[in-house]
Chains A and B, each alone.
Chain A
Amino acid sequence: SQQGEEDPQALSIQEGENATMNCSYKTSINNLQWYRQNSGRGLVHLILIRSNEREKHSGRLRVTLDTSKKSSSLLITASRAADTASYFCATDRKGAQKLVFGQGTRLTINP
């Protein structure tokens, strides 16, 4: 299958809480990226983590990567209503440009 797995498929939390989304993949990777997509819109690049990195931060975002478990997590701290969107992870392999996307997590932040 081209797709990786993400869980949960849907997540609904209260504003101010932290949101954690997970992504698993099947093959060895070069980079893993997280994207956000608002309904009916294109994708916005959030963060890229390389295969030799274990953790990366960007503002309220924290991404971890465990290559031994072939998994990554995206943590959004102090969530806001504007964070409501679908979040996708995408991986690429060394020497290959194409990205393989996970199934996505639909995040809803309730005010």
Chain B
Amino acid sequence: GAVVSQHPSRVICKSGTSVKIECRSLDFQATTMFWYRQFPKQSLMLMATSNEGSKATYEQGVEKDKFLINHASLTLSTLTVTSAHPEDSSFYICSASSGSAYNEQFFGPGTRLTVL
């Protein structure tokens, strides 16, 4: 199956700093990438959808100025959490889709963000 990587896998930062998370599709071109966050023992909540070369579409309630998404190429999307606060601590997961009719998404291993 298709492989999606995320980097870093874990990050601890101080409150007020910005953190960048990378999502890469390793063996296919991802026309669309998705960013989710997941709180402990909860389900995945979609934050935004990004298409290569265009602006991301954010879900209701997600601050686009706080969660900056860039999808500069067909294999890389980045999520930057700006001015992070402890409430931003979460598990962030990306997925990538090649745009097939079956809409199969391939998920990265996730990034655990802890804001002190």
Binding site for B on A (CB under 8 A): 2-3, 30-31, 33, 35, 40-45, 48, 50, 88, 92, 97-104, 106
Contacts and interface: CB of A to CB of B under 8 A. Distances in A.
B67 interface: no
8 contacts: A2-B46, A31-B103, A41-B109, A45-B105, A48-B104, A97-B49, A99-B34, A101-B43
Contacts of B107: 35, 42-45
Given A99-B46, A103-B43, A45 B102 contact: no
Contacts of B103: 30-31, 92, 97, 99
> Which of A41, A48, A50 has the most chain B CB atoms closer than 10 A to its own CB?
A41
Question: Chain B contact residues (Cβ within 8 angstroms of A): what range?
Answer: 20 to 34
B44 interface: yes
B56 interface: no
A33 B104 contact: yes
B67 to A, nearest CB: 16
Contact of A45 (B34, B106, B109): B106
Q: Is the interface of B mostly helix, strand, loop or mixed?
A: strand
A104 B34 contact: no
Contacts of B32: 97
A5 B101 CA distance: 25
B109 A42 contact: yes
A98 B46 contact: yes
Nearest to A93: B103
A80 B105 CA distance: 26
A104 B41 CA distance: 9
A104 B43 contact: yes
A27 B2 CA distance: 29
A26 B42 CA distance: 19
Given A42-B93, A98-B49, A104-B42, 20 more contacts: A30-B103, A33-B104, A40-B110, A41-B109, A42-B107, A42-B109, A42-B110, A43-B44, A43-B93, A44-B107, A48-B102, A50-B102, A88-B44, A98-B34, A98-B46, A99-B46, A101-B44, A101-B45, A103-B42, A103-B43
